[in-house]
Every structure is written in structure tokens, then in C-alpha cells.
Structure 1
Amino acid sequence: MTTAFRLCEPRDSEALATLFEQMQAHYGVPCPPRATILADLADLPPGNRILVADTGGGIDGFAAFAALYPGPGLRKGLFLKELYVAEGRRGLGLGRGLIAALAELATAEGYGRIDWTADRDDAALLAFYDGLGARREASKLFYRLTGAALAETAGRTR
């Protein structure tokens, strides 16, 4: 199997939408309608990009990421938001290939790091990330502001 790891193109939208739907089902979370996914893919926020694993027979995985600044040492970095490989295609090196392609892109574009989060309870996922040589940042804690708390906080600025 020959795989190309490349930035997504408009022609990839339908295949990516399918993978996004599969990912949402995998995590057991709600998924917006396909039309919304396609509209969002056509209008990615500035600084957001998606790498795809193109196996010649289709798009079988993706890495969605965005630029961050500033970071440690006031260097720019990348934040990996999602890494997903289609269930039937796991174990073939696509995830590792996507991470390698992202690291290559980061190096070529002068980014000093790649950050991401991972579910603490997913042992296989943690083993995968540990196997990449990534370092767990035990000193950092992940926060999220959403729902009612987001609305309440937004109301405090008025």
C-alpha cells in the first residue's frame, strides 16, 4: 500500500465528512448534519489545516491542527486537535505516518513544537503516543469553557 500524507484539498471533503461522522460515532458524541460538516470544511477558520492519509483507494485518516503563538521560548507551535484513522485501517501505520508528516511540516515551517491532548483512560492511545517519543506534560492541566459557563463568562464582559 502506497500512502500519500498531504494537506487536504476541496476534493477530499466528502471522504473527510465520512471520517468525521465515523469519529463522532467512535467517541459516542453527537454529530452535526453532513451539510454542516461540508460547509465547515469549505470555510476552515484561519490557521486551521488538515493532513490526510490518501491510500490511493480513499482517505483513510486525518490529522486536524492549528497554529499557536506564543509558546515556550516565545516560539510558534502547532496544536493537534484530532487524529483519526478509519477503524478498518488501524494498525497499518497511518496514524504514525500522519504524525510524521505533521512533524515534517512543523519543522519545514519553523514551528518549535506540537501539542495535543489525550483521553487518560485510553491505554492503547496513550501507548501509541508514548511510542512516538512524545513527552507527557504532567505539570499542565487542560481546561474547557463551554455551554452555560461559556455564556455566563461572556455575559461578564458587558
Structure 2
Amino acid sequence: MQAYYGVFCPPHEAVLEGIRSRPQASEILVAKTDRIVGMAAFGASYPGPGLKPGFFLKDLYVANVERGKDIGTKLVTWLAALAVERGFGRIDWTAARSNERLLRFYDELGGDRKEDRVFYRLEGERLMVLAAKA
């Protein structure tokens, strides 16, 4: 996954430690054969009193050589079943507008594009600046 996104991949033990020490509210579904071939990282979201909680799918990844084998579909299907089992009302996620293959995949799953939404991220120096105002 690190290679796909073009970011540094830490040593194997550091990857395992990162998974072990991930935030308690996060979960990971894993698809595997004799090795891990895909994963879905997600967390629960609380929308407020009287509204049903949901999942936010942070990352869905399938190894390049495994794409087109329904692994991504199965991971999202398992996530949907888990949401229903827990009484959750939705799954939210983002997708790069420039990745047409990915958008078609999500369209085929039955996801509704929410064009009225804008995805924001606060990180790095801007995160530090805002945090310093607390």
C-alpha cells in the first residue's frame, strides 16, 4: 500500500507495531489467501442523539495483482454486514475524483455520490497552529 501511494514504507516490525498501537476506535478487515491481499480500515462515527451511527471507511486497498477478483467488493460487503449487525445506518468514504476506475467501482457497489460535500483535512503545520489556540 505504501508503494501504491508513493510514500516511505517502514520496516516490517514497525508496520506491525503501528497496527498494534492504532487508535482504539479504528478497526481493520483483512482479506487474505496465503498472504494479506486487501484491507479495509474504518471507524465508527457518532452523528448525534436520535441519529444512527455509521462507519467511515478510511482506506480500502487491494494489492495490484489481486484487483479485479472481487476482493474490494467482498471487503465492503463484509463492512456493510457489520454495519447492519451493529445497527449502524450508513458507511461514508471519500474517493479521488481523478480515479475513474475507482469511481466506477464505488458506483457499481451502489454508493451515492454526494457532490454537495467537500472533504477537508487538517494536518501538519496547520493542525499544530490550530491546536496551539486551545
TM range (shorter): over 0.9
Counterpart pick for 2:43 among 40, 55, 66: 66
Q: TM-score, normalised by structure 2?
A: 0.92
- Percent identity reads 51
Q: Name the CA distance, whole Å, in 1 between partners of 2:80 and 2:17.
A: 28
- How big is the shift at 1:30? 3.0
CA root-mean-square deviation: 1.6
1:28 correspondence with 2:6 = yes
Amino acid at match of 2:82: L
**Higher RCO structure (Cα 8 Å, ≥6 apart):** 1
Counterpart pick for 2:69 among 70, 74, 92: 92
Amino acid at match of 1:34: H
Aligned length: 134
Q: Name the CA distance, whole Å, in 2 between partners of 1:31 and 1:46.
A: 23
Unaligned runs of 5+ in 1: 1-22
The verdict on how the C-alpha distance between 1:156 and 1:139 changes in structure 2, with shifts beyond 3 A counting, is same
Report if aligned partners of 1:71, 1:77 keep a CA contact under 8 Å in 2: no
Counterpart pick for 2:115 among 115, 134, 138: 138
Amino acid at match of 1:154: A
User: Which protein has the bigger helix share?
Assistant: 1
Report if aligned partners of 1:80, 1:115 keep a CA contact under 8 Å in 2: yes
Q: Name the CA distance, whole Å, in 2 between partners of 1:44 and 1:146.
A: 18
Deviations 1:38-79 (A, max 9, x none): 112112211211111123x22211111101001696210001
1:156 correspondence with 2:133 = yes
